[in-house]
Amino acid sequence: MSTNRDILNNKKFRVVVTGMGQLSSIGQGIPVLKRALLTGQSQFTQSSSFSMLSFPIIAALLQDFVFEKALNAFSVLPNNLLTMAKKAGHRAPLTIQTSLIAALEAWEQAKLYKRSFEKRRMGIVVAGHNTTLAYQYQRYTDDNLNHLSPIYALRFMDSDQIGTLSEVFGVKGEGLMVGGASASGNIAIIQAHRMIQQNLVDICMVVGVLADLSPFELQGFYNIGALGGRNFQKAPEKACRPFDRDREGFIWGQGTGCLILESSTMAKVHGIPFLGEIKGVAIALDANRGASPSKEGEAYVMQQALTHARMLPTDIQYLNTHGTSSLLGDETEIAAIQFVFNEHIHKVWLNSTKSLVGHCLWSAGVIETIATLIQIQSNFVHANLNLENPIDQDCRFVSSHSEIATIQSAMSNSFGFGGMNTSIVFTIGE
């Protein structure tokens, strides 16, 4: 879709979001998430599905998900696409089925089902790694490995996500997985943004895979003290409390999100409304393989994303924090935000979408980008659930209720174990 003149001028393309889809503990679909953001709805429960753990786990899990039923939500999409999706998702692991549902919703919103575009100029970036943990764990219960399903050989690989999505949607451009622990979602968005800016593709689907953990990972997170919920067994809805003095650690959430990114030129030509524009991006490492966050690293990516966007901290009205509800993580992020925003800190709304949907790990950055864009479009900032005693008095945390806010520009942070820092700046995209 880029013109010859654009290419000759080595023009960097503006990248806009034109489609979104999601499936999480809150429910299926963007309108459902928007309603939850507005009303402060969450779905944290004590799960009885992990009896082998040495502790009772609180999580925000998908509610009664049935793939075939979830497909019924799409009344506009053509039957042949839905038939392809049904076939691809039939007997597939939960992580594949949920990716397909989120992708179908985003595809529908971006009207890709009725647009004419070159399939070689569309890419897929899938956010996540270790995406088949629960699927593999469930296979261990088979009494006889002689009967291991032959398709396991394809399914256990993360890249089955790319294969399946590309087959269903007919995508033939670049496709890859990107991983960066809890920063995977943002890294995938940044990668897709670069692919469009570098004119490698015109359109790119970004899918944040649902983190389907097995008891091994949950026990591991618990053993390093990363999981919260110990003192909230009788009130699981209060366990996830980013930036509150009584927070204990992150609360796992199951969720998947999909974004359609494209060059603004492409979207304009096809008459597709912008849901937001990606103005600045940054990824930087801490040279640290551990789980400890770095104020310097986090501040650096926020500043780099602003510089990339050619914006100042005073241009930002809202920041969707990483805000996991972890002890050191939240404290470090606040210190980094204060360093970057300085006196402007009183004017930047802060919230954490994880207080509603939990920590969705690989897909967190994608779901939080969706939440950010919903708030930009609808002029509000969602509640910080359970923020009863904030760890900082200077920051402008949203209270326990959503508030009206006019947002022209917003930032979304995601950080991950292994010293992964990322930040993205969005604008309303006019």
Partner 1 sequence: MTRNEIWQALRSSLLEVFPEYTNLNIIEDLSLRELGANSVDRAEIIMLTLTHLNLNIPLVEFANVKNMIEIVDLLCQQIETF
Is residue 234 close enough to count as binding partner 1 by CB under 8 A? no
Q: Least Å distance between CB 163 and partner 1?
A: 12
> Distance (Å, rounded) from C-alpha 175 to C-alpha 155?
17
Closer to partner 1 by Cβ: residue 151 or 328: 151
Q: Least Å distance between CB 136 and partner 1?
A: 17
Closer to partner 1 by Cβ: residue 93 or 416: 93
Q: Least Å distance between CB 95 and partner 1?
A: 19
Closer to partner 1 by Cβ: residue 64 or 143: 143
CA-CA-CA-CA torsion sign (119, 185, 429, 4): negative
CA neighbor of 383 nearest in space, from 320, 317, 316, 300: 320
Q: Least Å distance between CB 74 and partner 1?
A: 18
Alpha-carbon separation of residue 258 from 9, 115, 383, 421 (angstroms): 32, 19, 23, 21
Q: Specify which residues 350 forms β-bridges with.
A: 319, 397
The size of the interface with partner 1 (CB under 8 A), counted in residues, is: 12
Closer to partner 1 by Cβ: residue 150 or 271: 150
x/- mask, partner 1, residues 73-112, rule CB under 8 A, reads --------------x--xx---------------------
Q: Least Å distance between CB 225 and partner 1?
A: 42
- Which residues, at least 6 apart from 282, have a Cβ–Cβ distance to it below 8 Å? 190, 300, 301, 302, 303, 304, 305, 308, 421, 422, 423, 424
Q: Least Å distance between CB 155 and partner 1?
A: 10
| Residues of span 173-232 touching partner 1 by CB under 8 A | none
- Which residues, at least 6 apart from 93, have a Cβ–Cβ distance to it below 8 Å? 132, 134, 135, 155, 212
Closer to partner 1 by Cβ: residue 54 or 144: 144
> Distance (Å, rounded) from C-alpha 33 to C-alpha 56?
27
**Residue 168: how many CA atoms within 13 Å on its side-chain side?**
29
- List 146, 287, 404, 430, residue binding partner 1 (CB under 8 A): 146
- Complete DSSP assignment for 349-407: EEE-THHHH-B-GGGHHHHHHHHHHHHHHHTEE---TT-SSBS-SSSEE--SS-EE---
Q: Least Å distance between CB 37 and partner 1?
A: 37
- List 52, 154, 235, 312, residue binding partner 1 (CB under 8 A): 154
- List 3, 31, 118, 148, residue binding partner 1 (CB under 8 A): 148
CA–centroid distance for 399 within its chain: 23
Q: Which residues bind partner 1 (CB under 8 A)?
A: 87, 90-91, 144, 146-151, 153-154
